[in-house]
Amino acid sequence: MGMKRRGRAVNTLEYVTLFPLLCFSSGAMAFDVTINGVEDEVRGNISAYLENLEAEEYTRMRLENEVKQRAAEAMRPYGYYEPTISVALGEESVEATLEIEPGPHVTIETLDIQLEGDAREDPPFTQAVDNFPLQEGDVLRHSPWDNLRSQLSALALERGYFDSQFIDRRMEVRPYEQSARLYMTFASGPRYQFGDVAISGSHIVPERLQNLRTFETGEPYRAEVIAQYNQRLSETGWFRSAAVRPRLASARELVVNQPPSGEGTWWQEATPEQVQRSYVSRAALQSVMSVSHREDQLLPIDVSVEPADRHQLEVGVGYATDIGPRLQFGWQQPWINRFGHSLNHDLYISAPEQRFSGRYRIPMENPLRDSYQLQYGIKNEDDNDTRSLGATVEVARRWQFDNDWVQSVYLRTTYDDFTQGGNAQKVLIYYPGVQWSRTRTRQQRFPTWGDRQQFSVEYSDTAWGSDAQFLRVTGDTEWIRMLGQNNRFIGGISIGAIETDNFDPIPPSLRFFAGGDNSVRGYSYESLSPRNDEGRLRGGQQLLATSIEYQRRVTGNWWGAAFVDSGDAFDDWGPNELKTGAGLGVRWVSPVGPIRLDVAHPFDHEDAWRLHFSIGPEF
């Protein structure tokens, strides 16, 4: 038994494919046409059919007949099969006026759409049929009919109906009766299920890759699940390339756009109103037929990967008025053994700060979501009133949830030999912490949409031998939004607080400072904080910083920017006055990411201007 659907009335916009019939000749003179007597969408389709007509290649009589023929063909997708068309050519035959009497519409007399096979119980197929916008008695429109045919074919490929075929697909038009009969019977056959996964080319133990699967053997096939698996393999960083494909047949040919030699010519001439369609080679047909003769519907999945380079180097440069030039070197090892362990090192060098850090990552059962991490580093800072040399070791457990939030629980040990605002200290601190974060972006090179959130809580106590006791909380958020194609907005806010009975042993890396190209532009790097009795910076126990920026595309990849930043570090909540800076900038979206150049002015210094330069996306 088939599933039959008789059309029902639905108000909808109809989409019509407009296409020229002849190739464009760069030397052809434009053919100017005025069309009267038809509605806008029909007039537009006629214009498209006549757009590339090379009038100089025709005699006046042949040109008039060609214009009539094309105009009549352009009207058929809208149900006009018997129009009366008169053509008045200009003296030079490069312009024409068409007076059209459309005549009666062709209406649908019979509409018979049926689904057979497993697709009868598959909601996307039944919904596609139910949403068909035409019913018996409606004016014939070609576009919805063609769209339904394409939609059913696409669903079959996406959802694993590889034996599907159209048993019947007819549009019988009788212009002399102003009627049409539409028949479509789609036989889906059985739906295939995921079979076993065969992995080749991997230097990582197969179990790691199997754990990344987004499907189980025996589940109904879906193309999007295959794409998700492919994406997960790429996100590990273990592979230079990864390809996941269903094993439909041992060999499969591509669909070609031209008919095989000697085929299709008479048919095209006899039915010129039909849109050009794709043709399938005989080898491709035989390949597909070999699938339908499988003894079961379990479809093996082939995974082919190529190892990524074991050593990867990166170099970054930047400049700001407050710190001068800065360099950053990265050495990444995305895999160091067959279990997928990775090791990364970074070296950052600028006049006020130098630091070296490393991270060893041990993936768990789900390599993308669960891992242990060992991080370590050493940092030297000599800037303003801060002198510090410190080392850090951290062990962390990381989870990534389905909503993209990442939770990290860690235990950190730091040793700092520092002098802040004239106060010298040597402290060894042990403290646990927990952090939640999420980063989402579209278009990594120059995000058109995105947001980033981070919230962390850390605690240290002298009860377990730490030299400082404190509770430290930080949080920040940034967002990127587009308005149209040429307006980009960036905003953010950062907060922080330390609760402690003795602020002196808190190292500079845990105190709060504001100012610089990633904080309040217009002020030098970490120059905003409370000062001691000698007027030296000593860092704050609280932080509040906000920023809003508007960018406008000037031309191509060049953007202009205007921004306002406000913030400060302080000792008591509710600062009396936040420091504010504003300025203008230029953005160039280079192949390696956006390059940003800003000129900023602090509001409380009349003659002060600062230059900020950096490379890379905002987050």
CATH homologous superfamily of 107-187 equals membrane protein fhac (3.10.20.310)
Residue 506's nearest CA partner among 473, 472, 543, 465 is 472
pLDDT of residue 249: 60
Find where tokens 């003894």 sit.
Answer: 295
Q: Which two tokens stand for residue 183?
A: 């028949």
CB atoms within 10 A of CB 592: 10
Pick the CATH number of 312-615 from 3.90.1150.10, 2.40.160.50, 3.30.360.10, 3.40.718.10: 2.40.160.50
Rounded-to-integer distance, Cα 476 and Cα 488, Å: 20
d(CA 187, CA 165): 5
pLDDT of residue 108: 95
Q: Residue 525: what pLDDT?
A: 84
pLDDT on residue 547: 96
- Helix (H/G/I), strand (E/B), else coil: 70: helix
Return the percent helix, strand and coil in the chain, to nearest 5: 15, 45, 35
Q: Please state, in angstroms and rounded to a whole number, the distance separating the CA atoms of residues 545 and 481.
A: 20
pLDDT for the residue numbered 18: 37
Give the position of tokens 């062990």. 395
Rounded CA gap, 19 and 487, in Å?
Answer: 33
What is the model's pLDDT at position 318?
A: 74
Task: Compute the mean pLDDT over every residue in the chain, rounded to the nearest whole number.
Answer: 86
Residue 252: alpha-carbon gap to chain centroid: 30
Task: Write the single-letter amino acid at 226.
Answer: I
- Residues of the chain short of pLDDT 70, as ranges, are 1-30, 93, 249-295, 320-322, 574-575, 606
Looking at residue 56, the DSSP 8-state letter turns out to be G
Domain 32-101's class?
Answer: alpha beta
Alpha-carbon Rg for the chain in angstroms: 34
Minimal CA–CA distance to 334: which of 308, 357, 315?
Answer: 308
Specify whether the CB–CB gap between 435 and 456 falls below 8 A. Answer: yes
In this prediction, residue 295 carries a pLDDT of 57
How far CA 304 is from CA of 201, 205, 307, 435, in Å, comes to 6, 14, 10, 36
Which pLDDT belongs to residue 25? 37
Cα separation, 541 vs 565, whole angstroms: 20
Exposed, middle or buried by CB within 10 Å (0-12, 13-18, 19+), for 176?
exposed
pLDDT at 324: 77
In this prediction, residue 264 carries a pLDDT of 42
Bridge partners of residue 316, in order along the sequence: 328
The residue extents of the domains of the chain are 32-101, 107-187, 312-615
Burial label for 66, CB within 10 Å (0-12, 13-18, 19+), is middle
Q: How far apart are CA 248 and CA 302, in angstroms?
A: 10
Residue 200 pairs in a beta bridge with 304
What backbone torsions phi and psi does residue 40 show, to the nearest 5 degrees?
A: -60, -45
Q: Do domains 32-101 and 312-615 have the same CATH topology?
A: no
